[in-house]
Amino acid sequence: MRELLLVTSLVFGIIQGSRANASDFFIDSLRTQIQVTNSPIEKSNHFNSLGIAYGYKNEPEKSLQCFIASAKILESIGDTTLLHHRYLNIGLAYGIHGGYEEGLDYMYRSIPLCNAMKDTITLGLIYQNIGSTYEYIGELDSAKRYINKAYEINIHFHDTLSMASAMNTLGLIAENQEQPDSMLYYLQKGLEYARTYDQSKFDERAKMRMAITLESLYHNIGKYYARNGPADSAIFYLERVLNFNSDYTSMDAKMTAHKHLGDVYMKRKSFEQACYHFNQELNMKDSLFDERREESIYEMQVKYETEKVNMENKELKLTASLAEAKKKLADKQYDFALMVTWSVVLVLFLALLIIFFLFKQNKTIRQLNMRLNTTNEELTSAKQKVELKALLNQINPHFIFNSLNSIQQFIVKNDVGSSTEYFGSFGRLIRHSLDHSEREFVPIQEEIEVIQDYSTLENLRFKQPFELIINPGNVDVYSIKIPPMFIQPLVENSINHGFAQEKPNKRIEISFQEFDESIQCSVKDNGIGYYTSQKKSEGRNSGLNISSNRLRSIWKNSGKMQAINIKELTDGDGNATGTIVSIYLPKSF
């Protein structure tokens, strides 16, 4: 994981050039700024800096959470200018935390964003980190492929620092693939790049990366010579690791350098020097163990205090939830009582509305009768309109009283839910009826809407509701108009007579077809059949009678006579399987 740590130093790097920035004061300052700022961009930047600070304090979980919060803010506002940097930070933090698959996923997500921003330098860094991750988890072919991609970008920009880092990683890959010659070639090439790097031209963060890269190269070359000889070369490079003077020196690197030096001196039978380096290795192991043990104890204490606070918060939330639940229960009881009260009020209001509606219709009829005293031509035209209006007035009371009867049944049963649903559909029907009572013709679509609301109301009365299918065919239902409430009685007839007996899978299908001068409308059901229903109703069929009278009045002007076509459907054995009723209406009136 050494090379991955090397590259992640960009993330857990120095903020404004000083480690002191990771202090508790700096962290508290960032938290305060997150709370007070109203700018999403600033808040995202503060979370990102806080993640870096937590990385310095060796708190990877908090660091990861801050990076994720920073990215989510940018995602929420659709700002992708810095999102690839945030995804890279999340991927690196996952790698430090051991979540290599999650880390790779985020780094892959940053690649298309990086390409969109044409940020080629960051793209090279992403490829470097993906390759280092694959090297650490042992997928060496993938590691080599991405490191070579990063190296090509680094060559283009003459980034000797990143080129040295890439060569170091390729050396480790060659070591794992048991290719010692290639390993030494890559490491020496990396050392050559590192030595040509002019540190005076770069900031503290870049100097830190170079220090870690250079130490890693000395260590890996020394390790190679310790295994393959000559011993003098191994001692030279491993001593460089021990004498490396930098604030970023790795204790792990010095500890393994002592181990390799001990092995080299043992091979040369310089036992005193070998013993010295082995003792140094043990001392550093003990020191590192004590340090990590103290960190573990501290983390456990922090975790305990955090869990304690969380438990207290959970208790407070539970108490608040119980109080809220009691309040909601009381509110529901009040709402139920209020709903019942308003239901009664609504029934009374509907009754008054119906009375007003009937009064208004009667007034309209009187006005039409008065106009019949005009000229003979006007008399003939007005007479036909009154006939149609009178037939329409037979439909509305018929349906209204049926609907009120159903409403009364639900209220008696105290079925508030069904009553409310019934009121909604009934209200729309009343609105259509009031509107249609003043209009001679309405678009077919409005008639369809009336039928749909009517069917919804009727279905509430059935244990096994019927299915309503409407097929407009080649008819423009939004522009072609017909007299209002013309098709509804045919649907009502199918429901009241065709479905007089309960049966499963009941279905009514309404279809339209346009011809040169007329519109055909067919209402088909799978009920008990026309003749059976006629026997049961003893020939009483007000819906069909109303529609037949209206149809005769409509076609009177054209001199043609059109009747309702009724056909009983049967199966192969002659048993009734339903009824289809067809009518023809003029395309223009």
Q: What is the rounded CA–CA span in Å between residue 254 and residue 227?
A: 17
Most confident range (mean pLDDT) of 66-70, 268-272, 279-283, 393-397 is 66-70
Residue percentage of the chain with pLDDT more than 70:
81
> b/e for 18-56, b at 16 or more Cβ within 10 A?
eeebbeeebbebbeebbeeeeeeeebbbbbbbbbbbbbb
* Predicted confidence (pLDDT) at residue 151 exceeds the cutoff of 70: yes
**What would the mean pLDDT of 136-165 be, rounded to a whole number?**
88
Report, as an integer, the average pLDDT of 335-345. 86
What pLDDT is stored for residue 476 in this prediction?
A: 92
The answer, yes or no, to whether residue 9 has pLDDT greater than 50, is: no
CA distance 581 to 574: 19
pLDDT top residue among 535 and 42 = 42
Report the pLDDT value the prediction gives residue 247, as an integer from 0 to 100: 60
Question: How many whole angstroms separate alpha carbon 339 and alpha carbon 316?
Answer: 34
| Cis omega (within 30 of 0) for bond into 230 | yes
Quick one: pLDDT at residue 579? 92
Per the CB < 8 A criterion, the answer to whether 551 and 497 are in contact is no
Tell me what the pLDDT averaged over the chain comes to: 80
Distance CA 33, CA 39 (A): 10
Which tens digit of pLDDT belongs to each residue from 109-140? 999 998 898 888 888 889 989 998 998 888 98
Residue closest to 125 by CA, chosen among 211, 44, 6, 222: 6
- The DSSP bridge partners found for residue 508 are 468, 525
* Residues 213-223: tens digit of each pLDDT: 888 889 999 89
Confidence (pLDDT) at 263: 87
Q: Which residues contact 96 (CB under 8 A, 6 or more apart)?
A: 4, 5, 8, 12, 55, 60, 63
For the segment 56-87, what is each residue's pLDDT rounded down to a tens digit? 777 888 888 999 999 999 999 988 888 888 99
Evaluate whether 126 touches 107 at the Cβ level (below 8 Å): yes
pLDDT at 227 over 80: yes
Q: What's the gap between Cα 478 and its chain centre?
A: 36
Q: Please compute the mean of the pLDDT values over residues 453-473 and round it to a whole number.
A: 86
Beta bridge partners of 481: 443
Over 50: is that where the pLDDT of 348 sits? yes
In contact, 164 and 197? CB cutoff 8 Å: yes
Q: How far is it, in rounded angstroms, from Cα 28 to Cα 35?
A: 11
Percent of the chain with pLDDT over 90: 13
* pLDDT beyond 60 at 12: no
With contact defined as beta carbons under 8 Å apart, do 583 and 521 qualify? yes
**pLDDT value, residue 70:** 92
CB of 531 closer than 8 Å to CB of 549: no
- C-alpha separations of 145 from 159, 184, 391, 433 in Å: 19, 19, 85, 75
Residue type for 493, please? N
Res 448: pLDDT: 92
Q: What is the pLDDT of residue 399?
A: 57
Q: What is the mean pLDDT of residues 227-241?
A: 88
DSSP state of 200: G
Q: Is the pLDDT of residue 331 over 90?
A: no
What integer is the mean pLDDT of 407-416?
Answer: 72
What average pLDDT does this structure show over 550-579?
Answer: 80
- Map tokens 């220090």 to a residue: 211
8 backbone dihedrals φ, ψ, rounded to 5°: -70, -10
Listed as own residue / partner, the contacts of 204-209 with beta carbons closer than 8 Å and 24 or more positions apart are 204/14, 204/17, 205/9, 205/10, 205/13, 205/14, 205/17, 206/161, 208/9, 208/13, 208/14, 208/247, 208/248, 209/6, 209/9, 209/10, 209/13, 209/161, 209/165
Q: What angle do CA 17, 22, 27 make, to 5 degrees?
A: 130
Token pair belonging to 494:
């199918």
340 Rama class: left (phi>0) / alpha (psi -120 to 50) / beta: alpha
Domains of the chain: 1-157 (1.25.40.10), 372-586 (3.30.565.10)
Mean pLDDT, rounded, for 225-252: 82
pTM for the whole thing? 0.45
CA angle, 33 then 34 then 37, to 5°: 70
CB 190 within 8 A of CB 165: yes
Pairing mode, strands 442-443 and 481-482: antiparallel
Distance CA 427, CA 442 (A): 19
**194 is written with which tokens?**
């590192």
